[in-house]
Amino acid sequence: MPATKPKLWLSRKLSHNAEERARRDYDCILNPEDGTWTGDEIVAMSHEVDAILPCHSEIFSADVVAAMSDRVKIIANHSVGTDHCDLAALKQKGIVVTNTPDVLSDATAEIAMLLLLGAARRAAEGDALVRDGEWSSWSPSFMVGTQVTGKTAGIIGMGRVGQVMAERCRGFGMAVHYHNRTRLPEHLEMGATYHETIDSLLPVSQFLSLHCPATPDTTGIMNAERIAQLPEGAILVNTARGALVIEDDLLAAIDSGHIAAAGLDCFAVEPGGNPAFAAHKNIFMLPHIGSATRETRDAMGFRALDNIDAYFRGEEPGDRVA
């Protein structure tokens, strides 16, 4: 480490343990009010600090990066996704960029399974009935949903989160099929069936769970044509990025009954989501909290700080993406 502590900006309020460690090792600028930042404010702050530990809410567009001070040496993201960063612009400017893989796989897969079960068993609708005091009767036809056990789960994106989700699905007796850019080794497939194309995966996916990053190739990947390839009554789960799904096309499939239900933790517009979804009781929604556990928030903060530590020791950060 340098003799003088590097100055570090923590753009959002992190876990107590992560902030304590940051304060111990760096001259920190914190954000106790947890406010968000404009591009101009990010540029202004870049003149004051040597390192930035941002979240997905801070947008490092090409214009922002071009205006940033050369003082900033590393951006250590508190996220796995880096679609809020123009990686090419940051690399050209000589700023190291890292992310936090591995540590949020379990938490995100838990939310994916919660959404899958909640959508299948009409959790949002049932909760509202009891909470609003409107549960007044019962019959064999009351609140009948879709059974999960024994069904086929299709997974798009068999990275760390996708692999944990596959494990959770197998725990419910589901057959797992997947599409990935490359086929997994047999010991990681654990009996899952590989599909070279999404188009061959979709027709067998009674439940489809999205776990791929948002890239130019995957943006809008679930459009009307693709949704139509799912079996009648399929259920769609998205804990990855809202940009993967054309929301109007999903709504049309929900309205037609082709899609029985959906479980969504991410949306095209965040925060806020899509107001049109609120009228559909068979869309079970959460406010992008896939990694929101105490354990994972500590681990994400520590992983980002590990990358910053490595950089200022003159080492290559382990999670460098640019």
DSSP assignments along 176-190, one per residue: EEEE-SSPPPHHHHT
pLDDT at position 51? 98
The pair of three-digit structure tokens given for residue 41, joined into one six-digit string: 């404010």
Interval 24-59: pLDDT, tens: 999 999 999 999 999 999 999 999 999 999 999 999
Work out the pLDDT band at 154, boundaries 50, 70, 90.
very high
pLDDT at position 235? 98
Number of H helices, E strands in the chain: 12, 12
**Mean pLDDT, to the nearest integer, of 67-72?**
98
Catalytic-residue membership of 288? yes
Out of 19, 84, 270, 320, pick the active-site residue: 270
Cis peptide before 271 (omega within 30 of 0): yes
β-pairing, 51-53 vs 27-29, is unpaired
CB 272 within 8 A of CB 280: no
d(CA 120, CA 184): 28
CA dihedral 181, 153, 160, 116 (to 10 degrees): 130
| pLDDT over threshold 80, residue 2 | no
Q: Where are the domains of the chain?
A: 7-103+294-312, 105-285
What value does the mean pLDDT of the chain take?
A: 97
Work out the pLDDT band at 311, boundaries 50, 70, 90.
very high
Q: What is the DSSP letter of 12?
A: S
What does each C-alpha distance from 5 to 8, 27, 273 come to in angstroms? Answer: 9, 6, 40
251 Cβ neighbours under 8 A, 6+ residues apart: 276, 277, 280
pLDDT at position 3? 72
Catalytic-residue membership of 189? no
Which residue do the tokens 């996708």 mark?
Answer: 162
Instruction: With H, G, I as helix, E, B as strand and everything else as coil, classify residue 300.
Output: helix
| pLDDT over threshold 90, residue 305 | yes
What is the chain's Cα-based Rg? Answer: 21
Return the bridge partners of 234, or none. 259
Indicate if the alpha-carbon torsion angle 108, 114, 118, 120 is positive or negative: positive
Q: pTM for the full model?
A: 0.93
- For domain 7-103+294-312, give its CATH number from 3.40.50.2300, 2.40.50.100, 3.40.50.720, 3.10.20.30: 3.40.50.720
**Which of 184, 50, 145, 162 lies closest to 106, judged by CA?**
162
d(CA 30, CA 9): 6
**Which of 244, 208, 243, 246 lies closest to 229, judged by CA?**
208
- Common-topology check for domains 7-103+294-312 and 105-285: yes
pLDDT at position 1? 66
Topology (CATH level 3) of domain 105-285: Rossmann fold (3.40.50)
Out of 241, 247, 297, 303, pick the active-site residue: 241
Indicate if the alpha-carbon torsion angle 204, 207, 213, 217 is positive or negative: positive
Catalytic-residue membership of 186? no
CB 243 within 8 A of CB 215: no
What does each C-alpha distance from 170 to 12, 243, 296 come to in angstroms? Answer: 37, 28, 23
Interval 179-225: pLDDT, tens: 999 999 999 999 999 999 999 999 999 999 999 999 999 999 999 99
The pair of three-digit structure tokens given for residue 86, joined into one six-digit string: 């123009």
Out of 78, 288, 297, 303, pick the active-site residue: 288
Share of the chain above pLDDT 90, in %: 99
